[in-house]
Amino acid sequence: MILAWLIIIMMIGGLLAWLAGKWNVLMCRWIALITLIIDFIIIIAIWVSNPGNIEISQKPEWLIEFTTSWIPQFGIDFHLALDGLNLILVSLTIFLGIISVITSWTEITEHAGFFHFNILWILAGITGVFLSLDLFLFYFFWEVMLIPMYFLIGIWGHENRVYAAFKFLIFTQASGLLMFLSILALYFIHGKATGVYTFDYLQLLGTSLSTSESFILMCGFLIAFLVKLPAVPFHPWLPDAHTEAPTAGSVILAGLLLKTGAYGILRYALPLFPQSAIAVSPYAMVFGAIGILYGAKLAFAQTDFKRLVAYTSVSHMGFILLGTFAGNALALQGVVVQMLAHGISTGALFVIAGSIQERIHTRDMTQMGGLWQEVPGMAGAGLLFSLASLGLPGLGNFVAEFLILAGSYQVSIGLTIFAASGLIASTLYSLMIMQKVFYGKKKKVWNIKDLGVREMIMMGAMIVVIVWLGVFPQTFLNTARSSVNNILQHFTSRNTKVETGSVDKNNLFQKINFINMIDEKRSNSMILTGHEKIILRREH
């Protein structure tokens, strides 16, 4: 029930903030902030009371689970569950939610009540997406987060906001409906085969599909997720939406909405359709690698600060695609860290872009320059997050990209080399931000204030997280490990079943090697259980 409360608190908080906004603008900001802080305390309490290293079992094991019947006629349950992976992501959601409320404190003056309503409802939708284990519920939340986001961009955005909002919504809605068709098809295939019509994720996991069915259904899911991610041919909505959105909108878009795509691939596309996922994985990895370089190249060509940061997201998401389809524990661990690190570092860059725009009323980098002397605090934070973005060791993104590349190296050396060159490109664009905005000659006499206490606290919190990610990634890796292994186990055990039941020994040894690199003891036990499982399957 605590999981449902996480969502309900946000929804109620949103309604209250809307009402309060009619009387007192400040009150609605505080209501939104307090709502999120309550949620944050809850999720952190859950995290602290469930330390990492949860025993690895063959069945997915949930820290907390909540099920209640919703529409029994269709076999739809209100089924929420928490494991390590979505624990991390929900924490990130609420953390960035707090950041986005704080960053809007002075930026949004018009209709602040409705603004905070939208923010909280987007966050509620995203939290729902991360937590739900019923495919119908998942799609429900997937849609719920779109409309407030549309309003956020369309009402409080910059010059070209209506166009950007339309583009965002049409792209995501169209791809979402394709996913919905796949969900329905899966529902009926499972129902006809077993007589149990249900949208429950755990039950649908075992559905046996023919190769072509599995491929088509997976495409439906994958398109929705790749548009959200976004992977390279599906990215055109992103730069517009990110650029035109208000700061809070950009933070949520980059930090959270994109993560729902990555999460969807991990939670749904891979475990539900393992054979097809393996079949498309080389292509997906190629697109991931292309995305890394293409996004970086486009980022380098921008003069609009926010647009530049938006394209860096395309590049970073390329790493996520590459790592996800590499399909080994190392890469998947990297993907989890990347989701967090990218959320924080890109979010912070958008906050900086937003606070510059609030002060000098432009995002055009050709008009900036020499801001370091004026706003040393902001410039320092900018430097740190640019360096995070280029993958400086000691900060979160480095760990993530290193793990992903190390993982994909096991699968394809060529692609990894190609993708690794993206790190050089990211160095270029990250340093360009610093050069054009904070260093160089002053173009004008600026008379602007440095970060205030409110902004300093916000930046400080983000810096702490990104450094923590860089120095002690083990905290997060431990929490996510069991869920990552579960995904992987599903992936590989189904795979061996398909391959006429023979155990691919090389594959197995290879896997032992990777996982040993992370944690020797644990991985051995996991491999053993995996091995036993395979043997058991063969005996049956």
Partner 1 sequence: MTSIEFQSLIPLVTIAAASIIIMLSIAVKRSHLFVNLFSLVSLGLAFLSLFFVPDTTPVMIAPLIILDKFSFFFIGLIFAASFFIILFSFNYFKQQEGDKEEYYILLLIATFGSSLLAASINFMSFFISLEIVSVSLYTLISYLRTKKNALEASVKYLILATTSAAFLLFGMALVYAGLGTMRFNDFAVRIAAPDTHVELAIAGFSMMIIGVGFKLGVVPFHLWTPDVYQGASAPVTGFIASVSKGGMFALLLRLFISIDVYQYQALVHTFTIISAASMLIGNLLAIRQNNVKRILAYSSISHLGYVLVAFLAAGSMAVQASVFYFVAYFISTLGAFGVITLLSVKEHDAEDIEDYRGLFWSHPVVAAVFTAMLFSLAGIPLTVGFIGNYYLLAAGVNSSLWFLVVTMVVSSVIGLYYYLRIVTVMYSLAKETNEKLRRRTFTFGGGIALTVLTSLLIWYGLFPKGILLVIKSIAGI
User: Which residues form the interface with partner 1 (CB under 8 A)?
Assistant: 70-74, 110-111, 136, 140, 143-144, 147, 150-151, 154-155, 162, 165-166, 169-170, 173-174, 177-178, 180-181, 184-185, 187-188
Query: Could you tell me if residue 53 is left (phi over 0), alpha (psi between -120 and 50 degrees) or otherwise beta?
Result: left
Tell me how far, at minimum, the Cβ of 354 lies from partner 1, in Å.
19
Longest dimension (CA), the chain: 78
Tell me how far, at minimum, the Cβ of 185 lies from partner 1, in Å.
6
CA distances from 296 to 110, 292, 379, 409 (A): 35, 6, 22, 21
Tell me how far, at minimum, the Cβ of 220 lies from partner 1, in Å.
10
Tell me how far, at minimum, the Cβ of 214 lies from partner 1, in Å.
16
Tell me how far, at minimum, the Cβ of 140 lies from partner 1, in Å.
5
Q: Encoding tokens for residue 172? A: 């995501």
Nearer to partner 1, 33 or 144 (CB): 144
Nearer to partner 1, 164 or 226 (CB): 164
Tell me how far, at minimum, the Cβ of 198 lies from partner 1, in Å.
13
Amino acid of residue 406: A
Nearest to 52 by CA among 437, 336, 452: 336
d(CA 271, CA 435): 45
Tell me how far, at minimum, the Cβ of 427 lies from partner 1, in Å.
40
Tell me how far, at minimum, the Cβ of 111 lies from partner 1, in Å.
7
Element (DSSP H or E) covering residue 67: strand 64-71
Q: Encoding tokens for residue 273? A: 């359709």
Tell me how far, at minimum, the Cβ of 177 lies from partner 1, in Å.
5
Tell me how far, at minimum, the Cβ of 7 lies from partner 1, in Å.
13
Could you tell me which residues come within 8 angstroms of residue 538 by beta carbon, excluding any fewer than 6 positions away?
501, 503
Nearer to partner 1, 197 or 446 (CB): 197
d(CA 463, CA 451): 14
Tell me how far, at minimum, the Cβ of 71 lies from partner 1, in Å.
6
DSSP 8-state symbol, 253: I
d(CA 79, CA 81): 7
CA distances from 491 to 193, 264, 327, 487 (A): 22, 15, 8, 6
What backbone torsions phi and psi does residue 440 show, to the nearest 5 degrees? 80, -175
Q: Encoding tokens for residue 71? A: 């529409």
What backbone torsions phi and psi does residue 67 show, to the nearest 5 degrees? -130, 135
Q: Encoding tokens for residue 505? A: 């020994």
* Cα within 13 Å of Cα(286), Cβ side: 4
Tell me how far, at minimum, the Cβ of 358 lies from partner 1, in Å.
18
Nearer to partner 1, 155 or 332 (CB): 155
Nearer to partner 1, 71 or 535 (CB): 71
Tell me how far, at minimum, the Cβ of 438 lies from partner 1, in Å.
33
CA distances from 180 to 225, 238, 331 (A): 12, 22, 29
Pair 279, 498: CB distance under 8 Å: no
> Measured on CA atoms in the order 406, 411, 413, 415, is the torsion positive or negative?
negative
d(CA 405, CA 412): 10
Nearer to partner 1, 179 or 262 (CB): 179
Nearer to partner 1, 230 or 318 (CB): 230
Pair 132, 138: CB distance under 8 Å: yes
Tell me how far, at minimum, the Cβ of 275 lies from partner 1, in Å.
22
Nearer to partner 1, 187 or 325 (CB): 187
Burial pattern 242-263, b for ≥16 Cβ within 10 A else e, equals bbbbbbbbbbbbbbbbbbbbbb
Nearer to partner 1, 113 or 470 (CB): 113
Nearer to partner 1, 34 or 185 (CB): 185
Nearer to partner 1, 181 or 498 (CB): 181
Nearer to partner 1, 101 or 169 (CB): 169
* Cα within 13 Å of Cα(529), Cβ side: 15
How far does the chain reach from its first CA to its final CA, in angstroms?
39
Nearest to 329 by CA among 179, 152, 522: 522
Q: Encoding tokens for residue 4? A: 């449902």
Q: Encoding tokens for residue 149? A: 């986001």
Nearer to partner 1, 272 or 466 (CB): 272
Number of neighbours of residue 471 by Cβ within 10 angstroms: 14
Nearer to partner 1, 213 or 450 (CB): 213
